[in-house]
């Protein structure tokens, strides 16, 4: 579904990604892991069209999307939930959700998606008329996820959903992601919370200093010496 | 002072405020969505007035149709100018955007004024009245029907526009862009389209104002200066980019000017308004309803 080949990208004169080629197939739940500053967010931004690739290509559903602007990529069925969420804080929860369906014209189906999202996150249903800016951190994450789902995407890019959340809420968000994946949404998740991500993902990539240093299924990853030592803090004597 | 004349002043202030609100709303919109300090706003007011003159004198249309033509014309000219000037600039570089676009609008204002001078000559053009008659609003005062209808047009336009912004997906998209550009892109909103639309709508609102006030202020090339200052005054007073606040602000300024005119005499209304503006900015630099304005500092 998503094929990135030999991608390099960055900001201004600063190169962040060096020749990375991650792939995501339909129905998969893939985790992109790595420390701060490894280029995870940059990779998602490049895929979503917020920044242009320097070299290499990005293919989504068989089409080149490397030079398309973000709004057209969204139209094709990719939804990117950013780390800072980019909610419309001066608008109500409901308006935020409706804007998530901006690319869709069929009112009936939009209504279905709205019901689906409100069913998935009941707290949003209670707060429909509240301004998004007045929500708590956890509710904001759910609203961002909900808004991302309103376009009925086939691929969901999620950047650090656990950031700044209490452990209980992290669990809730992760469960929601798992549930979505079960319902058929392909997910590429960026996380620093590696233990938890590997438990729910099918497969993972480890990105360090702009390069993919490791890839494999979650079982392999959990057994990998480097992952254990560097990320899970398990050291064998 | 008698109660009845106080009442008269309030009415005049409100009638005046309607148009200020209409113009200030357009200004606030362009600033909020595009971060452009529009200093050619008065010229679109002028264009609206000229279009109405044209419709009346050349086509012999009735006043409502003339105002409608000015509305459409204001929109079309705004769209052309956005596509021709601001869009290419945004493509090329967004550095120093606020300053560059400010200078562009000032230049645009000169160009448009001189074009009007070239085409329309240095003459006042207008009509004595759209609709004859006066309406008695109190025992001591009558107001011309023109003013009342002009006010109603302003109110209806503001109402429809407010509904458009709140209830339609396109209106929501405009607000979305003003609140979070990246979020807007990611839900699939084409920023270029929304920018062009917003600019066109803002010049459309101004065009309506210019055309509806034609019997009161005749069309001439430099006629935009006064309304420009007044609407900037409103926008700064309430806080840059605040569309809802600019409606209230329009009425406040209308009232303020009418009262200072009455109590201090002609010529004092700007002094009083500007003094109050300075006081407000001294104590609340972001304006009465001011909140943080998107991106102004980083661009």
Average pLDDT for residues B220-225, to the nearest whole number? 93
Closest by Cβ to B186, choosing from A70, A90, A91:
A70
Q: Which residues of B touch A151 (CB under 8 A)?
A: 187-188
pTM: 0.91
Q: Does B292 touch chain A (CB under 8 A)?
A: no
Q: Do the Cβ atoms of B188 and A147 come within 8 Å?
A: no
> Are residues A27 and A60 part of one domain?
yes
Share of chain A above pLDDT 90, in %: 71
> Are residues A69 and A14 part of one domain?
yes
**Four-residue CA torsion sign, B10, B45, B39, B21:** positive
Task: Please check the confidence at residue B268 and state whether its pLDDT lies above 90.
Answer: no
- pLDDT for A2 equals 94
Closest by Cβ to A98, choosing from B169, B183, B188:
B169
> Are residues A98 and A51 part of one domain?
no
Final residue before a domain boundary, out of A129, A152, A175: A152
- Domain of residue A61 covers 2-77+154-232
pLDDT tens by residue, B272-284: 888 888 888 888 8
Q: Do the Cβ atoms of A95 and B172 come within 8 Å?
A: yes
Please calculate the CA angle B163-B167-B173 and round it to the nearest 5 degrees. 105
**Nearest chain A residue to B181, by CA:** A86
Q: Is residue A179 part of a domain?
A: yes
> Are residues A168 and A211 part of one domain?
yes
Letter string b/e over residues B243-274, b meaning 16 or more CB atoms within 10 A of that residue's CB: bebbbbbbbbbbbbbbbbbbeeeeeebeebbe
Closest by Cβ to B188, choosing from A50, A74, A89:
A74
Q: Is residue A138 part of a domain?
A: yes
Final residue before a domain boundary, out of A152, A172, A190: A152
Residue A111 — very low, low, confident or very high, per pLDDT cuts 50/70/90?
very high
User: A169, A101, A217: which is closest to B188 by C-alpha?
Assistant: A101
Closest by Cβ to B185, choosing from A70, A87, A88:
A70
- pLDDT for A167 equals 86
DSSP chain A: -EEEEEEEEEETTEEEEEEE--EE-TT-EEEEE--TTSSHHHHHHHHHTSS--SEEEEEETTEE-TTS-HHHHHHTTEEEE-TT----TTSBHHHHHHHHTTT---HHHHHHHHHHHHHH-HHHHHTTTSBGGGS-HHHHHHHHHHHHHTT--SEEEEE-TTTT--HHHHHHHHHHHHHHHHTT-EEEEEES-HHHHHHH-SEEEEEETTEEEEEEEHHHHHH-HHHIIIII-----
B61 min Cα distance to partner chain A (Å): 39
- pLDDT for A236 equals 62
Average pLDDT for residues B185-192, to the nearest whole number? 95
Tokens of A50: 């917020």
Task: Please check the confidence at residue A75 and state whether its pLDDT lies above 60.
Answer: yes
Chain A from 101 to 130: CB within 8 A of any B CB: 102-103
In Å, what is the CA distance from B25 to each residue of B84, B151, B206?
A: 23, 15, 9
The total of structural domains in chain A comes to: 2
Residue in the structure block whose two tokens are 């009509």: B127
B297 min Cα distance to partner chain A (Å): 18
Residue B296 — very low, low, confident or very high, per pLDDT cuts 50/70/90?
very low
Poorest-pLDDT segment among A42-56, A219-233, B214-228: A219-233
Q: Which residues of A touch B176 (CB under 8 A)?
A: 88, 91, 99
Q: Which residues of A touch B179 (CB under 8 A)?
A: 88-91
* Residue A205 contacts residue A22 (beta carbons within 8 Å): yes
Task: Please check the confidence at residue A159 and state whether its pLDDT lies above 80.
Answer: yes
Tokens of B229: 């200052």
Share of chain B above pLDDT 90, in %: 60
Average pLDDT for residues A178-188, to the nearest whole number? 92
Q: Is residue A85 part of a domain?
A: no
Closest by Cβ to A71, choosing from B175, B180, B188:
B188
Q: Do the Cβ atoms of A91 and B175 come within 8 Å?
A: yes
Q: Does A99 touch chain B (CB under 8 A)?
A: yes
Task: Please check the confidence at residue B298 and state whether its pLDDT lies above 50.
Answer: no
Task: Please check the confidence at residue B295 and state whether its pLDDT lies above 60.
Answer: no
Q: Does A79 touch chain B (CB under 8 A)?
A: yes
Q: Is residue A237 part of a domain?
A: no
Task: Please check the confidence at residue B26 and state whether its pLDDT lies above 50.
Answer: yes
Poorest-pLDDT segment among A122-126, B165-169, B187-191, B241-245: B241-245
Any idea where the domains of chain B sit in the sequence?
3-283
Kindly report the average pLDDT of chain B as a whole number.
89
ipTM associated with this complex? 0.90
Please calculate the CA angle B282-B287-B290 and round it to the nearest 5 degrees. 135
B94 min Cα distance to partner chain A (Å): 14
On whether the B3-283 domain is CATH 3.90.550, my answer is no
Q: Does A69 touch chain B (CB under 8 A)?
A: yes
A224 or B29: which leads in pLDDT: B29
- pLDDT for B299 equals 33
> Are residues A175 and A66 part of one domain?
yes
pLDDT tens by residue, A170-181: 888 898 899 999
Task: Please check the confidence at residue B3 and state whether its pLDDT lies above 90.
Answer: no
Q: Does B173 touch chain A (CB under 8 A)?
A: yes
- pLDDT for A151 equals 93
> Are residues A166 and A65 part of one domain?
yes
B178 min Cα distance to partner chain A (Å): 9
> Are residues A140 and A165 part of one domain?
no
> Are residues A123 and A63 part of one domain?
no
- pLDDT for A137 equals 87
User: B78, A226, A124: which is closest to A113 by C-alpha?
Assistant: A124
- Rounded CA-CA distance B170/B158 in Å is 17
Average pLDDT for residues B223-235, to the nearest whole number? 91
CATH of the domain at A188: 3.40.50.300
- Rounded CA-CA distance A98/A94 in Å is 6
Closest by Cβ to A89, choosing from B179, B182, B186:
B179
Q: Does B176 touch chain A (CB under 8 A)?
A: yes
* Residue A205 contacts residue A4 (beta carbons within 8 Å): no
Name the pairing type of β-strands A55-60 and A63-64: antiparallel
Task: Please check the confidence at residue B297 and state whether its pLDDT lies above 60.
Answer: no
Name the pairing type of β-strands A14-20 and A2-11: antiparallel
Task: Please check the confidence at residue B140 and state whether its pLDDT lies above 80.
Answer: no
Q: Does B93 touch chain A (CB under 8 A)?
A: no
Q: Do the Cβ atoms of B186 and A80 come within 8 Å?
A: yes
Count of CA atoms in the C-beta half-sphere (13 A) of B239: 16
* Residue B66 contacts residue B211 (beta carbons within 8 Å): yes
- pLDDT for A210 equals 93
Q: Please report which helix (H) or strand (E) contains residue B24, including its range.
A: helix B3-34
Q: Does B182 touch chain A (CB under 8 A)?
A: yes
> Are residues A145 and A47 part of one domain?
no
- Rounded CA-CA distance A46/A120 in Å is 29
């Amino acid at each position: 579904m998503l094929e990135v080949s030999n991608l390099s990208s960055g900001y201004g004169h600063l190169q962040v990604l060096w020749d990375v080629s991650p792939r995501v197939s339909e129905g998969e739940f893939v985790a992109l892991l790595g420390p701060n500053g490894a280029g995870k967010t940059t990779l998602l931004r490049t895929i979503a069209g917020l920044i242009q690739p320097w070299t290499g290509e990005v293919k989504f559903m068989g089409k080149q999307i490397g030079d398309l602007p973000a709004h057209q990529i969204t139209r094709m069925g990719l939804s990117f939930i950013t780390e800072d969420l980019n909610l419309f804080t001066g608008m109500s929860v409901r308006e935020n959700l409706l804007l998530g369906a901006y690319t869709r014209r069929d009112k009936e189906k939009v209504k279905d998606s709205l019901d689906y999202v409100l069913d998935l996150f009941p707290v949003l249903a209670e707060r429909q008329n509240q301004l998004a800016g007045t929500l708590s951190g956890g509710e904001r994450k759910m609203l961002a996820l909900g808004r991302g789902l309103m376009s009925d995407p086939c691929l969901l890019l999620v950047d650090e959903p656990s950031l700044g959340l209490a452990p209980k809420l992290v669990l809730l968000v992760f469960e929601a992601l798992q549930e979505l994946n079960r319902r058929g949404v392909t997910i590429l998740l960026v996380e620093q919370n590696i233990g938890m991500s590997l438990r729910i993902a099918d497969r993972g990539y480890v990105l360090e200093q702009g390069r993919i240093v490791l890839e494999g299924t979650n079982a392999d990853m959990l057994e990998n010496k480097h992952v254990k030592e560097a990320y899970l803090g398990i050291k064998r004597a | 002072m008698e109660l009845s004349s106080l009442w008269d002043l309030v009415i005049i202030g409100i009638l005046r405020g309607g148009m200020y609100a209409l113009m200030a709303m357009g200004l606030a919109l362009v600033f909020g969505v595009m971060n452009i300090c529009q200093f050619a706003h008065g010229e679109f007011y002028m264009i609206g007035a000229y279009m109405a003159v044209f419709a009346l004198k050349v086509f012999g249309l009735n006043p409502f149709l003339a105002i409608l033509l000015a509305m459409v014309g204001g929109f079309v000219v705004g769209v052309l100018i956005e596509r021709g000037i601001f869009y290419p600039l945004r493509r090329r570089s967004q550095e120093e955007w606020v300053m560059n676009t400010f200078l562009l609008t000032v230049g645009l204002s000169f160009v448009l004024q001189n074009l009007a001078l070239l085409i329309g000559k240095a003459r006042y053009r207008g009509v004595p009245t759209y609709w004859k008659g006066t309406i008695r609003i109190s025992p001591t005062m009558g107001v011309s029907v023109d003013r009342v209808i002009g006010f109603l047009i302003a109110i209806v336009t503001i109402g429809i526009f407010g509904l458009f912004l709140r209830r339609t997906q396109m209106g929501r998209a405009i607000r979305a862009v003003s609140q979070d550009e990246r979020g807007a892109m990611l839900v699939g909103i084409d920023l270029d389209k929304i920018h062009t639309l917003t600019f066109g709508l803002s010049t459309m609102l101004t065009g309506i104002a210019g055309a509806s006030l034609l019997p009161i202020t005749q069309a001439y090339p430099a006629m935009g200066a006064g309304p420009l200052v007044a609407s900037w005054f409103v926008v700064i007073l309430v806080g840059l980019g605040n569309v809802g606040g600019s409606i209230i602000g329009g009425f406040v300024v209308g009232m303020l000017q009418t009262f200072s005119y009455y109590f201090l005499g002609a010529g004092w209304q700007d002094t009083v308004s500007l003094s109050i503006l300075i006081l407000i900015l001294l104590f609340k630099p972001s304006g009465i309803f001011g909140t943080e304005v998107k991106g102004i500092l980083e661009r």
